[in-house]
Chain A
Amino acid sequence: MPTFDNPFDPDRPLTSGCSCGHHATERDHQLDHQRQQLACAPVETEDKRFEGVVASAVVRAMFPQDATRRAFLKSVGASTALAAISQFFPLGTATELFAQGGALEKKDLKVGFIPITCATPIIMAHPMGFYSKQGLNVEVIKTAGWAVIRDKTLNKEYDAAHMLSPMPIAITMGVGSNAVPYAVPAIENINGQAITLSVKHKDRRDPKSWKGFKFAVPFDFSMHNYLLRYYLAEHGIDPDVDVQIRSVPPPEMVANLRADNIDGFLGPDPMNQRAVYDGVGFIHVLSKELWEGHPCCVFTASKEFITTAPNTYAALLRSILDATAFAAKAENRKQIAAAIAPANYINQPEIVLEQILTGTFADGLGSIKTDAKRVDFDPFPWESFAIWIMTQMKRWGQIKGDVDYAAVAKQVYLATDTAKLMKDAGFTPPAATTKSFSVMGKVFDPGKPEEYLNSFKIRKAS
């Protein structure tokens, strides 16, 4: 269940299992969509939102079984339930604790980001005042590439940073760098990537005809790399043999596409839309069409920062959660596009960012498409995301041997997330931390990663 939903709504599931990953069943998913169309949620205040986050944790802890909770709420009614629970758990006090925290150990922070729309919550929190609201003086520093942001974070030049969701796992496991324990307390964005092809390929939309293509992805340890490989393999193309996949920094992608060095890329926005804007590429498929609700980039910090400055970390995370919740609302997206477009932040034409964030965009082939969830924001770091990422790391030979999927996932993706903040406030964190989802129609069960991995025909020979 998305973290910002009302936990006292009996019709709302707390754990998920539908195609989009937000609902318990497919039926709930459809109902929910209908309801969303009928009733537009009013803008909440920050206090309300915190109360909601804390209350969800409490309700989730009290009723690990969704059916029981639903029965309980239906029989007594939401307001009675709220009153009853408030007697045992002082929701008001807890919310206050969560919202304020203790004295800040450090007020001046540096947070690194890569200028792509995935970093929207981290970036917008600066011009829109989400950091200062928490009493923090955060400088958001634009960084040239993933390897540099990794090194600058490891060097402690940055207190926290924007990374690709597989990077903290790789860093923690010591793949491609020294092993340093890292944590992902919040996912920044879900969806929001796309496969962009050069306009000269506009009649070659069938992936089976892509043998010999040259593709670019932003980094080896990226969802982009895994999704592109997955997509190609599902269409019978072996990504290690039939095509070439290069690691190219996002800003160079459009330039390379124009120069005909690559045939296409699975890249982060704004580069997909920028390629369309400049008339050199078209959007072949959005990443949400491969996996609805996939994670992309994360907000990450070292375990050391989290343990040495817990209050600062909590305040920082609160600003990020708050910004993420604000960005999750469709009506705020235009305003955000204007806030993050200047040279100090993403440095792109505002119209490009607006198309990405509002989901009404030119596809590069002459038509305007609408998909409000083209990019979306939901901070909950599901452990199953991490497990899926590790299965793909192993599938493509980035890690070898036995992997303790659940343990690494727990260490990186949940140990210190939102749940920790709730623990600080005296609560039991949510019970469910994994969920099942499907990628291109194939269901992933986080409990059976090895079986999932072995079910793929195309993989790197080990």
Chain B
Amino acid sequence: MNLSLSVRAAIVSVAFLVFFLAGWHIATRGTGTAANMSPEYARLMGATATQGKSAMPGPLDVGEKLWEHIKSPFYDKGPNDKGIGIQLGFSIARVLFGYLLAVALAIPLGFLIGMSPLMSKALDPYIQILKPISPLAWMPLALYTIKDSNTSAIFVIFICALWPMLINTAFGVAAVRKEWINVARTLEVGTVRRAFTVILPAAAPTILTGMRISIGIAWLVIVAAEMLVGGTGIGYFVWNEWNNLSITNVIIAILVIGLVGMVLDQILARFTRMVTFPE
């Protein structure tokens, strides 16, 4: 065995996939009893009822449908039927918008809390109460007060992405080694300059970890929010296909959501590596 670890890991991964797909295929082959019915009646019924076909699609059905989506990801057949690529675009745009708003608020506020023990104590109860609220609990309130469904979705992203970043920033800032701040102080560095040249680089890895957690949460939330308000986005796609009880398309959407979530996470992970420093 002179294969490297990653090659061996890849082989095991593929083996798992093949095993899973085979199991799935066998489980959904559909050997249910084909009901006895007249041809006229059967014409009016679906395949599940007539041929005893499993209600769960098999991997081949999903693959076939996936290929269709990949062939034309950007079609637009009206306001309620757009290609999966367009829907993803809508979702990503919403997530980025809400997320950047959250970044714009969380980092300065986190700095303030981290640098001032007074603010930290004063704001702590609010943060603790607001942090665990489920994103969807905000939805009716947002719809009612903001009076715009798209803005409401962005607001929900914003409010959910805010907390991990805020808490991590505050923690990172507060945990900067006292020696470094003291050195800066001896050199008579002003508060603003100190914040940017000493604290920011020192706290950056923690801040970015918070941002990475937040983007994951934002992506989780968007699907739920779009299922609720509908209109556009990958969440709406899931809802629309659920409406048609098309499990095949729902599985494809799950796959795509997972892929995009992974890509977003990896981008942030790369940024984190860029600012990490050895101590």
Q: Which residues does A use to contact B, with CB under 8 Å?
A: 115, 139-145, 147-148, 151-152, 154-157, 250-252, 254-255, 258, 274, 276-279, 342-345, 347-349, 351, 355, 361-362, 366-368
Contact = CB atoms under 8 A, between A and B. Distances in A.
Given A142-B230, A347-B244, A367 B46 contact: no
B46 A349 contact: yes
Contacts, number: 101
B43 interface: yes
Contacts of B44: 277, 351, 355, 361-362, 368
20 contacts: A140-B79, A142-B240, A143-B230, A147-B140, A152-B143, A155-B147, A155-B149, A250-B243, A251-B239, A251-B245, A277-B44, A277-B49, A279-B45, A343-B77, A343-B240, A347-B240, A349-B46, A361-B44, A367-B41, A368-B44
A334 to B, nearest CB: 14
Given A151-B149, A156-B147, A157-B148, 5 more contacts: A155-B149, A251-B242, A278-B46, A343-B80, A347-B244
B149 A148 contact: yes
Q: Which of A140, A154, A347, A366 has the most CB of B within 10 A?
A: A347
B149 to A, nearest CB: 6
Nearest to B235: A144
Which size class do B's interface residues fall under?
Answer: 35 or more
Contact of B46 (A144, A157, A277): A277
B104 interface: no
Interface of B: 35, 37, 40-41, 43-46, 48-49, 55, 77-81, 140, 143-144, 147-149, 227-231, 236, 239-245
A276 B78 CA distance: 30
A157 B149 CA distance: 8
Contacts of B148: 155, 157
A4 B145 CA distance: 43
Given A140-B79, A148-B230, A274-B245, A155 B143 contact: yes
A279 B143 contact: no
A427 B149 CA distance: 41
Contacts of A277: 44-46, 49
Contacts of B140: 147, 151
Given A142-B80, A362-B44, A343 B245 contact: no
Given A142-B240, A343-B81, A343-B240, A278 B48 contact: yes
A115 B48 CA distance: 23
